[in-house]
Amino acid sequence: MKSKVYETPQSALDGLTRDGITVAVGGFGLCGIPEQLILALRDSGATGLTAISNNAGVDDWGLGLLLATRQIRRMVSSYVGENAEFERQYMAGELELEFNPQGTLAERMRAGGAGIAGFFTKTGVGTIVAQGKETKEFDGETYVLERGIRADLSLVKAWKADESGNLIFRKTARNFNPMVAMCGRVCVAEVEEIVPTGSLDPDHIHTPGIYVDRIVRTESVKRIEQRTVRAR
């Protein structure tokens, strides 16, 4: 079987990027983002991208880098704070935005990866989130239909992987990454450590290798999104 291990983020994306694709990206703020794969995606020059991610990083890191180069045409997100360029492009009509409640976005990606075309949820009923969507009554309560998400490409960040692509995430850096990995037709994971297949305790694996197509070891920058200090 062909090895899933690649030497560089650029080689890990080779043949996967093109204009107009949908890319799901893991992370929450700057925590658990596939930072080096994002840089490689930027350097690929692909444009007209639809990016599915909880948010878009900050102005000079994460998906904010792709906003700066105008490679993202549309964002599917829960939160647009911390990124002034995101706000500016949206308010100027230069960037399309589909808002999703945070839990709904996570479930849409999980459902897509599980082969579930859609599901009903109470979240968003009676708000603009539900406009134009089918609603249905269950036990006297109104629910809105949300579609599962399937992305052309998923980019995730994990702490450790084995050579078969089984992934372990570290603490809160897990966040959206497992759902992002599931929903991609092709999933590329950047990791801090790669170990031989069979080295990981099966009970500790968060994302099975069946969802992961390529892995690459990278050095993490681990920037802090907001540094908060207090006076002594």
Query: Rounded to an integer, what distance in angstroms lies between the CA atom of residue 12 and that of residue 31?
Result: 21
Query: Rounded to an integer, what distance in angstroms lies between the CA atom of residue 98 and that of residue 129?
Result: 9
Residue at 155 is within a domain:
yes
Residue at 223 is within a domain:
no
Residue at 29 is within a domain:
yes
In degrees and rounded to multiples of 5, residue 60 shows phi and psi of -120, 20
CA distances for 135 relative to 97, 120, 222, angstroms:
22, 8, 42
Q: How many domains does the chain have?
A: 1
Domain that holds residue 82: 5-217
Instruction: Give Cα 19 distance to the centre of its chain.
Output: 18
Residue at 228 is within a domain:
no
Residue at 226 is within a domain:
no
pLDDT tens per residue across all 232 residues of the chain: 789 999 999 999 999 999 999 999 999 989 999 999 999 999 999 999 999 999 998 888 999 999 999 999 999 999 877 788 998 999 999 999 999 999 999 999 999 999 999 999 999 999 999 999 999 999 999 999 999 999 999 999 999 999 999 999 999 999 999 999 999 999 999 999 999 999 999 999 999 999 999 999 999 887 877 778 888 7
Residue at 230 is within a domain:
no
Residue at 87 is within a domain:
yes
pTM: predicted TM-score of the whole model, two decimal places: 0.94
Torsion of CA 28, 30, 36, 42, to 10 degrees: 90
What CATH number is associated with residue 109? 3.40.1080.10
